[in-house]
Amino acid sequence: MGRHGTIAGRKAAQDNKRAAIFTKYARAIIVAAKSGADPDYNASLKNAIDKAKSINMPKDRIEQAVKKGSGQLEGESYETASFEGYGPSGVAVIVDVLTDNKNRTTSAVKSAFDKHGGNLGVPGCVSYMFERKGVILIEKGDGVDEDSIMETALDAGIEDILDSDEFWEVRTSPEDFLAAAEALRGAGYELAESDIEYVPSMEAEPKNESDKKALIKMIDILEDNDDVQKVYTNCSADLS
């Protein structure tokens, strides 16, 4: 194939991945905009738009998604859903989706679990092992330390700050999440990621390397699905 072909192939793969991420974020905006097209009066929409901007989604695509969600443009109708189950070695897995065809999505999620040593369960079968928390990641750098972050947003409801490799991970209750995010942005911090997530309160890990590889493969397949927004696990092992 040669070097040019290899680079071209890699670029095409990166472009495809970027397009898939834009699709996921556009769907989130569409769903949020159903409750109102003005982000100043729709906190969920504001958060969805902020996340889209953080990955440099084009402004016209953001505006189009808002118009579709608010009914100003004709578009697809999406619904939210969550799937719960167990991966290899009994690792708990939650899959959040936005879909315009729940039967198609259910089939795809079940297939990913079945083919890689997992079992799709019933609602509630693993969510008791998680807590809902606001999670905000701030990249470490000069002048960005735990004390300064705490001082900025303590009044906005920060519960904890964790050292997470290259980032400071700020945790809040779901109710205080938006206020904390706004306080940090207002103080000049750049938020690498911000969302309300499932944070494990009970952890597990694969029993062996084979189960770990199967779990990673299962998560990769789920995350590659356009309908899937996020995949959460209670795995304590590094799955990167």
- 42 and 87 share a domain? no
**pLDDT tens digits along 100-122:** 999 999 999 999 999 999 999 99
Confidence of residue 16 (pLDDT cuts 50, 70, 90): low
pTM: 0.82
The number of domains in the chain is 2
- 60 and 83 share a domain? no
pLDDT greater than 60 at residue 13:
no
Q: Give the structural domain span for 28.
A: 2-69
Between 235 and 185, the more confident residue is 235
3-state DSSP percent of the chain in helix, strand and coil, to 5 = 45, 25, 30
**pLDDT tens digits along 122-162:** 999 999 999 999 999 999 887 788 888 988 888 888 999 99
- 36 and 90 share a domain? no
**pLDDT tens digits along 38-94:** 988 888 888 889 889 988 999 999 999 999 988 888 877 888 999 999 999 999 999
> Rounded to whole angstroms, how far apart are CA atoms 45 and 138?
21
Q: Which residues contact 39 (CB under 8 A, 6 or more apart)?
A: 45, 46, 49
- 187 and 215 share a domain? yes
- 179 and 110 share a domain? yes
- 22 and 99 share a domain? no
> Rounded to whole angstroms, how far apart are CA atoms 33 and 70?
5
pLDDT recorded at residue 6: 37
43, 69, 95: which is the final residue of a domain? Answer: 69
- 27 and 115 share a domain? no
- 153 and 226 share a domain? yes
pLDDT recorded at residue 3: 34
Mean pLDDT of 191-216: 94
36, 69, 102: which is the final residue of a domain? Answer: 69
- 154 and 235 share a domain? yes
25, 51, 69: which is the final residue of a domain? Answer: 69
pLDDT cut 70: percent of the chain above it: 93
Q: Which residues contact 194 (CB under 8 A, 6 or more apart)?
A: 47, 50, 51, 134, 135, 136, 137, 177, 181
- 124 and 223 share a domain? yes
Dihedral of CA atoms 214, 20, 44, 69 in degrees, nearest 10, equals -130
CATH code: domain of residue 54: 1.10.10.200
- 202 and 118 share a domain? yes
- Going through 79-236 in order, the beta strands assigned E by DSSP cover 79-86, 92-99, 119-120, 130-139, 158-164, 167-172, 191-200, 228-233
Tokens representing 236 are: 């304590």
Q: What is the rounded average pLDDT for all residues in the chain?
A: 88
